[in-house]
Structure 1
Amino acid sequence: MITPALDVPTVSRGVRIGYGVGSFCTATYNAVPGLLLLYYMTNFLAVPAWLAGLVVAAPKVWDLLINPLVGRWSDRTTSRLGPRRPWLLAGACTLPVAFFLVFAGPPLTGVPAALYVGGCFMAAATAYALFEVPYKAMPAEMTSDYHERTSLLQWRMVFIGAATVISGILAPAIVNSQGDDGTLGSYRLMAVTIAAVLLASMLGSFFGTARAPMTGAPEPDGGRLRDQIAAARGNSAFMWLLALSCAQMMAVSMMLAAAPYFAAYVLGDPKATSTLFAALVGPMLLTMPVWVRLAKRFDKRGAMILAALMFGVGTVAALATPAIGAWYAHVMLLLVGMGYAGVQLLQFSMLADVIAVDAEETGKRRAGVFTGLWTAVESGVASFGALVFGGILSLGGFLESEPSRPVEQPDSALTAVLVGQAAVPALIIFLSVLMTLKYRLRPADAPPPAASA
């Protein structure tokens, strides 16, 4: 059980902003491939939908190994930069290059193109792990205050919202700048631009966290990796939190992968991808203070249930889009976005609580192991969402194509797009609500100290 701290240092505004700016990397890296990669392969590289989905998912199997290893390495790192920041710098030096290569558009189609994209995406996933795993471990070591973690992570989520809006609008806008569906050249231009955004955000976080406190950070755990992973698996609060997070991420990743198809084939306007995306993530910029207050009023678990219900109701309601119109789809995605904002904030705040309680109970620094497992499983599930959506498209008879040879899709393919965009994600989100009821780390287990952020 965690006990109230007598003298809890408040994380300065400068450090909060410095930490939060790293979320431009998190949001951009997750949003752009999730939004465009499947469509890029099926419609520009003539990769069959099932194979394109497999390419998006396959490199994430590697995450199951590399992410826990990176977490363990960062737990054991001793340097004048601290245990986490050297890894942030390593990610900044490698991810932008690998990301560009994913969308470089070599003169390949079909299976060779799928192999090329898959190899580059695996390299990008490795580089992303170097940054993201230590980055997620930092909040639990910055403060021991139960509610200050939510306040600290509010800044992270604001930056995620801003970055997701920018990348989700900017990337499709660049792609569509040379025609409604884009060209290989426009995809390359998009890749260069987004790579620059990734580099700036990662370096900004590295320098911005130079004075981040390491409140109560215990000694590294000297045990074997498999023993540490077994200990994390034995933490029931962590496992239930991971399960509900995976369900929510699965739904989000399916909706992201489906968005270009939904815009092109249900709304009849490929450029609507940008406005749909803005409707989904825009509420992050406006609703974070509300979710912080709701978390204090109803506790984090109660606020999580409310957020997931809003997400699920809006997703189900979007099924009526063909009968009502594009404006209705945007309104429903605004409702989904408000729920999504709460879900994202509370996931990471609750994860920081679990890590802090584990550190106090065991006296060991295992934040990297927890976040390594979390990131590996979460990213695998996210890519699995694209794989599932690709399978739904294949079952619906979706036809792959190239820009020079457009095809007319059968009605069954259009139905498959709607099912993958709304029906299946809604079922998954409602399942996450049931999982949330099993989460048991409450303020009684971690009473907040008198000081607050």
Structure 2
Amino acid sequence: MGIVVFVIVKQLLILAYMTAFLGVPVGIAGFVTTAVLIFDMITDPLIGYFSDRTQSRYGRRAPWMFLGVLVMSAGMVGLFSVPPGMGMNANLAWVVAFFVMATIGFTMVAIPYGAQSGEITQDPKERSAMTGFRMAFASIGILIGGAVLPGLADTMGYPMAALLVTPLMVGAVWLSLWSIRKAPRIEQAATVSLSGMFGLVFANKAFVVLVLIYGVMTLAIAMITAGLPFAALYLIVDSGDTMLSGAAEALTTLSLMFATFVVGSILSQAIWVLLSHRLGKVGALILGLSLYMVLLYTLYTMLPSVNVTAIAGMFVLAGMTNGAYQQIPWAIYPDLMDVTRRETGIAIEGAFSAIWLFGQKLANAMAPAVLGLTLAAAGWQETTAGVVAQSDSALNTLQLSITLIPAAILGVAILGLALIYRPMARRALV
């Protein structure tokens, strides 16, 4: 929960914040966001390496997470606290500095956290159940980052809103550390070199292929997330006479969409655990992504819309299909860690976690730039007032960018899972 708040902030709010409130052209804002996220990827292998080699009375992972969430939270508050009266270049420099700080803190938490999924249990079914609980709490983080924070920002400004949610972020990470203080873990620090460590990871071919396919999936989801604030302003304009019109007015349309999305995601977690047991993890994931494609096509036919209730219903279904993407890959990749540990006797879960997040972060880094350049090419107009008149071409491009284009990308991921990954995994996991 604590980690996902910042994940949603960087995917959902930073691009819109720069273009709608700081007056930064959308192409430049997308490039800046992408540049910072690419820098973040450089730190992943280092944090993974150092956490694998850490020795302390609290284990290899806890010290990094304990300090990292403080750095992440401070950076998030800072990036939304741009002093008034500065020029565009100064605004950009301020945002970039604190964005870099926040992403380094995020890496200090996320890499060691992901590594623990390979240490706490080696039972594949138990990992699915554990990941289901994990993603249910992640959905609450989505609600805080995507619904609560924008709502608070509308009433009291972004700096105060970010400050108010930081105790939830810090408290969630620290509570998780306390709660698993007696859980199984690997105490012995790895002694292999940096190059040797990542050589072992890349020798696991099935894992590398899964990383790439997961990155493809994430690109689709990240494009939807980055475009959603624009859609809430321009494509979902409530008529005011539907069942949820009052909620949309009280929460804002964007917050309502995320709230309904989270409801669907939480409701689906047990379903995807059950389907993973019945169909196998890969089969359940392919089913979930296929349903996601159908939903995105349906949403394309419904937009633009003045019926916020109907669109909220679609977002409940979107949350349910997104639950497969959220949960199942995170339950698959620890199984592949076991292959390397079984063959070599070396425990380098931090290195695996770093490379696992590489595909996700690369996709998250690319999405704002792709969306920004696509909208800029269609003539999208930046503003400091929140909303400005946009051309039909720009609005049509936005509609495609959050529906049919992501659906096509998910189709590529499905083909990769069925034709490339599944045969490799069957051989590796024998």
What's the TM-score, normalizing by structure 1? 0.87
Q: 1:45-85 CA deviation, whole Å, 9 max, x = no partner?
A: 01010111112111122223211111111111111101111
Q: How does 1:7-156 map to 2 (within 5 A)?
A: 24-107=1-84, 108-156=86-134
For the 8 Å contact 1:218–1:365, the answer to whether it is kept is: no
For the 8 Å contact 1:103–1:191, the answer to whether it is kept is: yes
Distance 1:188-1:379 versus aligned 2 partners, 3 A rule: same
What's the counterpart of residue 388 of structure 2? 407
The alignment covers a number of residue pairs equal to: 414
Equivalent residue letter for 1:89: F
Which shows bigger deviation, 296-305 or 413-422? 413-422
What's the counterpart of residue 17 of structure 1? none
In 2, Cα distance between the equivalents of 1:81 and 1:323?
Answer: 53
For the 8 Å contact 2:49–2:350, the answer to whether it is kept is: yes
What's the counterpart of residue 357 of structure 2? 375
For the 8 Å contact 2:260–2:316, the answer to whether it is kept is: yes
Distance 1:218-1:432 versus aligned 2 partners, 3 A rule: farther
In 2, Cα distance between the equivalents of 1:93 and 1:26?
Answer: 11
- Alpha-carbon shift at residue 226 of structure 1 (Å): 2.4
Candidates 133, 151, 166, aligned match of 1:173: 151
Is residue 303 from structure 1 mapped to residue 284 from structure 2 by the alignment?
yes
For the 8 Å contact 2:264–2:315, the answer to whether it is kept is: no
In 1, Cα distance between the equivalents of 2:83 and 2:366?
Answer: 25
Aligned with 2:280: secondary structure?
helix
Equivalent residue letter for 1:136: G
Aligned with 2:157: secondary structure?
helix
What's the counterpart of residue 325 of structure 2? 343
Distance 1:325-1:237 versus aligned 2 partners, 3 A rule: farther
For the 8 Å contact 2:38–2:361, the answer to whether it is kept is: no
What's the counterpart of residue 215 of structure 2? 246
Q: 1:338-376 CA deviation, whole Å, 9 max, x = no partner?
A: 111012111110011111222112110111011112223
In 2, Cα distance between the equivalents of 1:350 and 1:109?
Answer: 47
Aligned with 2:421: secondary structure?
coil
Q: How does 1:158-307 map to 2 (within 5 A)?
A: 158-177=136-155, 186-214=157-185, 217=186, 220-268=189-237, 271-307=252-288
For the 8 Å contact 1:283–1:334, the answer to whether it is kept is: yes
In 2, Cα distance between the equivalents of 1:418 and 1:65?
Answer: 33
Q: 1:96-118 CA deviation, whole Å, 9 max, x = no partner?
A: 11110011122234232122211
- Alpha-carbon shift at residue 392 of structure 1 (Å): 1.4
Aligned with 1:283: secondary structure?
helix
In 2, Cα distance between the equivalents of 1:406 and 1:433?
Answer: 37
In 1, Cα distance between the equivalents of 2:66 and 2:305?
Answer: 49
**Identical-pair percentage:** 27
Q: CA RMSD in A?
A: 2.0
In 1, Cα distance between the equivalents of 2:192 and 2:372?
Answer: 41
Which shows bigger deviation, 196-205 or 425-434? 196-205
For the 8 Å contact 2:59–2:187, the answer to whether it is kept is: no
- Alpha-carbon shift at residue 444 of structure 1 (Å): 7.9
- Alpha-carbon shift at residue 137 of structure 1 (Å): 0.3
Equivalent residue letter for 1:287: S
* Structure 2 runs not aligned, ≥5 long: 239-247
Aligned with 1:361: secondary structure?
helix
